[in-house]
Structure 1
Amino acid sequence: MVTAAAITGLFYLTQHVVQFNGPTRTAAKTTTATEIATTIAITAATTTTTTANTATMASTTT
């Protein structure tokens, strides 16, 4: 399950990581709708994979 906190954290990083470039600092980037959709899709896919892997490990552990 994708948590709201995880999505919010990813959005924050997407928007603000460009600010930490030291002397070559540029203006904060605005997140586009496509980037938001992509972030949600990647997060959901990662969560699904993690859940599947956890289930597999549980079923094969003795």
Structure 2
Amino acid sequence: MFGSTYHGMQCRALIAKGGIRTVKVMLNQFLKAAMVILIGNLLEGLKILKNLIEPTANALPIL
């Protein structure tokens, strides 16, 4: 009797541990994806800004 109860408790504990690991992996993947998107957006913005302030090839005439 005690053996089956103990076994059942062990099974439930393993299922709970597996669920916690799954949640951790999902959160880690979500954070990694968010960082990739954020860094990609920042780099894209820097490229645009670089092109906006690129020096001209010739000096501009003064009015």
* TM-score, length basis structure 1: 0.49
> Whose RCO is larger (CA < 8 A, sep 6+)?
1
* TM-score, length basis structure 2: 0.49
